[in-house]
Chains A and B, each alone.
Chain A
């Protein structure tokens, strides 16, 4: 799974980062299963597993959304970082994975009564936005391969994958509406999201070629 540097065909010196992200990102799943099997999830295990996977899905999504701003920031500091773009997709896939597990646990929690889920999805706004975010993440996960880009054409593929931003917003709203009292987590998530958007807007605008900017101003 290590990455080759396209120019030199030598293993890139930061190739380990991607592997570390993938294996490190999957490790919490293993730990969760271990905790469940050994009865370490406390008095209300389903609820705890549900909350834990929810936070993991959110963290992965925010990290994936932070990749581009990080690269922009790096280039501003004179660093040509490639690894943020290399791990971006994998973070997104990990987010979809945890969102999926989160929903499986929700289904186990509510019981296997489909009418009850639809009722929840339609009637409770925080479930509605969570469900929409899940649909986006799963769609993006299934179109994350190179063949999907080829099939769809880059323009359409790119437009579809811009939905990540919407998923980010929806997930933060879902989290905000779901907590009972303590908004610390949702506030931190919102700040990270907004910082990413701000960095994108500010840095990218400044980095556009001068001619292009002038054209726009005219």
Chain B
């Protein structure tokens, strides 16, 4: 019998249909799973920090950001590149005991543990806007010590013109340090007058309770008119010196991250405009304010400077 005349030849058997169907579904789910594994980034931290219970003081017109956003969306490359990495991985960091050293061009070098520091310089509540160089922002109710008070206590010499900050870099507990994501330890710096400015804060907490580890416990810098990467976390050393320190990001990409890093809507990042920002929790963008809205307080520090050159 000629095969072409066989009426059953085009008929798919039930078993065929079933087999194809199962293969299709399995294949589709498998392919989608691979794609999800490739493209998905974690969105929520696995270990949220308990929310403080006391009422929060807000900046007028600028409500304080959601606690999950403050503690769950952080750049902290010692723990990884994803925003959710710090909240997931910073738990192993040991913040007690912890000492910070103030040295360099000072007459009275200090080494203080956090409790002593807080006893000598009682922390204050300071709710500030924070603007990241990547174009997002939040409002954080910091609790901290004006840096100027601490520096004054060390009696800086007249030659001290810059302040260099050094962060902890412990490969044992910091996966990003192990992976060599950046050239660690993370270094940041300020000019002396910026460091002494009353807005500049050494934060020891948020909302009156000790800093969560992902936010830079036990001691971090907060300079509200500068991009967030200036706000070095987990500070172990503060050195006063005559020359401008070589800071981490400005070494990696000097054309993208300047030493000053003042928030400035008129000076673009090479790859994006800085004119607008997204406040975490909002879908639209808002206009970025000169010096992050602190121009009245700080613009005199930069009188006569070309802010395009010294960005």
Residues of chain A whose beta carbon lies under 8 Å from any beta carbon of chain B: 2, 9-11, 15-17, 19-25, 27-28, 31, 35, 40-48, 51-53, 55-56, 59, 109-111, 116, 119-120, 124, 126, 177-178, 180-182
Residue B304 CB within 8 A of the other chain: no
Do the beta carbons of A44 and B27 come within 8 Å of each other? no
Binding site for A on B (CB under 8 A): 9-10, 12, 16, 20-21, 23-32, 35-36, 38-41, 43-44, 66, 68-69, 72-73, 77, 81, 83-84, 134, 136, 181-182, 252, 270-273, 276, 278, 280-281, 283-285
Inside 8 A of B43's CB, which chain A residues have their CB? 35, 40-42, 48
Q: Are B27 and A17 in contact (CB under 8 A)?
A: yes
Residue of A nearest to B38 (CB): A59
Whether B134 lies near A9 (C-beta < 8 A) is no
The answer to whether B44 touches A20, judged by C-beta atoms less than 8 angstroms apart, is no
**Shortest CB distance B165–A (Å):** 20
Structural contact, A44 and B73, CB atoms closer than 8 A: yes
Contact among A16, A53, A59, A116 for B20, CB-based, below 8 A: A16
> Which among B38, B68, B280 has the highest number of chain A CB atoms within 10 Å?
B38
Q: Are B23 and A46 closer than 8 Å at their CB atoms?
A: no
Q: Is the CB of B44 within 8 A of A42?
A: yes
With both chains docked as a complex, state the minimum distance between the C-beta of A189 and any C-beta of chain B, in angstroms: 11
Query: Which residues on the A side are within 8 Å of B272 (C-beta)?
Result: 120, 124
The interface residues of chain A lying within 8 Å CB-to-CB of B278 are: 44, 46-47, 109
Contact of A27 with B28 in the complex, beta carbons under 8 Å: yes
Chain A proximity of B297: nearest CB distance (Å): 28
Residues in chain B near residue A16, CB distance under 8 A: 20-21, 23-24, 27
Q: Are A42 and B252 in contact (CB under 8 A)?
A: no
Residues of B within 8 A of A15 (CB): 20
The answer on a CB contact under 8 Å between A124 and B44 is: no
* Min CB–CB distance A103 → chain B (angstroms): 15
**Contact pick for A181, options B25, B66, B72, B181, CB 8 Å:** B181
Q: Which residues of B contact A53 (CB under 8 A)?
A: 39
A31 and B32 alpha carbons, distance in the complex (Å): 10
Find the residue from B40, B83, B270, B285 having the highest chain A CB count within 10 A. Answer: B40
The CA of A12 and the CA of B68, in the complex, are separated in Å by: 52
Considering only CB atoms, which chain A residue lies closest to B21 in the complex? A16
Cβ contact within 8 Å between B23 and A20? yes
A20: B residues at CB distance < 8 A: 23-28, 30-31
- Shortest beta-carbon distance from A104 to chain B in Å: 14
B84 touches A42 (CB 8 A): yes
Residues of chain B within 8 A (CB-CB) of A21 are 27-28, 31
Which partner residue on chain B sits nearest A30 by CB separation? B32
> Is the CB–CB distance between A177 and B30 below 8 Å?
no
**Nearest-neighbor residue (CB-CB) of A28 within chain B:** B35
Q: Write out the residue numbers on chain A whose beta carbons fall within 8 Å of the beta carbon of B134.
A: 180
Instruction: Kindly state the separation between the CA atoms of A124 and B148 in the bound complex, as whole angstroms.
Output: 40
Residues from chain B with a CB closer than 8 A to the CB of A43 are 66, 68-69, 72-73, 83, 280-281
The answer on a CB contact under 8 Å between B83 and A42 is: yes
**Among A22, A44, A52, A59: residue with most chain B CB under 10 A:** A44
Distance in angstroms between the alpha carbons of A53 and B38 in the assembled complex: 11
Pick 24 A–B contacts, CB within 8 A, sort by A: A11-B20, A15-B20, A16-B21, A28-B35, A28-B36, A31-B32, A40-B43, A41-B43, A43-B66, A43-B72, A43-B280, A43-B281, A44-B136, A44-B280, A48-B41, A51-B41, A53-B39, A55-B38, A56-B39, A59-B39, A126-B271, A177-B271, A180-B134, A181-B77
Instruction: With both chains docked as a complex, state the minimum distance between the C-beta of B137 and any C-beta of chain A, in angstroms.
Output: 11
In the complex where A11-B16, A42-B84 touch, is A25 in contact with B39 (Cβ < 8 A)?
Answer: no
CA distance A24 to B25 in the complex (A): 8
- Name 13 extra pairs, CB < 8 A, besides A25-B31, A42-B72, A56-B35: A11-B16, A19-B27, A23-B24, A25-B35, A43-B281, A44-B278, A46-B283, A51-B41, A52-B40, A55-B38, A59-B38, A59-B39, A181-B181
Closest to A4 in B: B10
Closest 5 CB pairs of A and B: A20-B27, A24-B31, A42-B43, A27-B32, A24-B28
Q: Which residues of the other chain, B, contact A9 by a CB distance below 8 angstroms?
A: 9-10
The answer to whether residues A111 and B284 also contact, given A28-B32, A44-B73 and a CB cut-off of 8 A, is: yes
Considering the complex, give the chain A residue whose CB is closest to the CB of B26.
A20
Q: Are the C-beta atoms of B38 and A111 separated by less than 8 Å? A: no
Is A24 in contact with B181, judged by CB distance below 8 angstroms? no
Which of B29, B35, B84 is the most central at the interface, judged by chain A CB atoms within 10 Å of its CB? B35
B32: contacting residue among A24, A35, A42, CB under 8 A: A24
Complex Cα gap A44–B28 (Å):
29
